Structure 1
Amino acid sequence: MTDEPVDRVLTALADPTRRQLLDLLAAHGSATATTLAGQLPVTRQAVVKHLSVLDAAGLVTGARVGREARYEVRPAALDATARWMAALASDWDRRLVRIKRIAEAASHEE
C-alpha cells in the first residue's frame, strides 16, 4: 500500500539529476542553486526546477538568506519512505518464508 507522500518521493528520486542534487546538498549542508549548478552539467534554471520537485516531495527546503535562496535536505520524507520500503520488504520476507515451508512440506510428502 503506497500513499501520496511516498509516491512523490519515489517519483522525485527517479531522476538521476535530483539524486545528485540531494547528494550534493547532503555533502554541503546547504547551498544555492547557483552553487549546485556549478557542480552539475545542467543550467541553474534546470537546477531550480529540480529543486522545486524535490521541495514538493518534502525532500528539500529552501529559505531566503539575504538575496539568495539556500536549500538543504529535509530527511523526514526520506525516513518515511525508508520505513515504507522496510515494511514492504518485511511483508515479502514473510511471504517467501511461507512459500519455502509449503515447498519443503510438499517435498517431504513425496
Structure 2
Amino acid sequence: MSASLDTVFAALADPTRRAILTMLLEDDMAVTDVAEPFEMSLAAISKHLSILTRAGLIAQEKRGRVKWCKLQPDAMREASVWMQGFGQFEPIHLDAFERFLERELGEGDLG
C-alpha cells in the first residue's frame, strides 16, 4: 500500500471522522456546524478535521470569517480501487451464518 492509502485508511479508522465525512456528503459545512452534534471541544473537532484534510478527504477554506469544510470524494478512489480487489470473494450472508450458529450452539443461545 502507498503512504497516501495508509493515511486515508488511518483517517477512516476513527468513527468521529467517518461521521464527519457522512455529514459532508450532504453539503459543505462551517466548522462550527460540523462540531455541533459531537460532545467534544471545538479544538478536538479541529484535530479530526486536520487529519481528514491531510488525508485529502476534505478541503477547508475560509469564507469571510468562517472556515468551511468540503468533501473531496476523489481522495477515496485509491482506497476504493484497493478494496475492490477483494470483490472476488463471496459476501458473508449474516442470516445464514446466524442460522448456522443456532444449529451449532443450540436454539436460544444467541439472544
- TM bucket (normalised to shorter chain) is 0.7 to 0.9
User: Could you report, residue by residue, the CA deviation over 1:16-39 in whole angstroms, capped at 9, with x for unpaired residues?
Assistant: 110111111112x11111111111
Give the aligned partner of residue 11 of structure 1. 10
Task: Say whether the 8 Å CA contact 1:6–1:81 is kept in structure 2.
Answer: yes
Greater mean alpha carbon deviation, residues 12-21 or residues 78-87:
78-87
Residue in 2 aligned with 1:104? Answer: none
Which residue in the other structure is 2:39 paired with? 41
Q: Which has the higher helix share?
A: 1
Alpha-carbon distance, 1:43 to partner = 1.5
Q: Which residue of 1 aligns with 2:80?
A: 82
Equivalenced residue count is: 89
- Three-state SS of the structure 2 residue aligned to 1:69 is strand
Point out 4+ residue stretches in structure 1 off by more than 4 angstroms: none
| TM norm structure 2 | 0.75
**Percent identity of paired positions between Structure 1 and Structure 2:** 33
| Deviation digits for residues 40-84 of structure 1 (CA, Å, limit 9, x no counterpart) | 122211111100000000000001100111001101111221011
Deviates most, 62-71 or 33-42? 33-42
Question: 1:1-110 maps to which residues of 2 (within 5 A)?
Answer: 2-27=1-26, 29-87=27-85, 89-90=86-87, 93=89
- Structure 1: segments with no counterpart, 5+ residues: 94-110
The normalised TM-score by structure 1 is 0.75
Q: Within 2, Cα distance between the matches of 1:31 and 1:47? A: 13
The whole-number CA distance in structure 2 between the counterparts of 1:46 and 1:36 is: 12
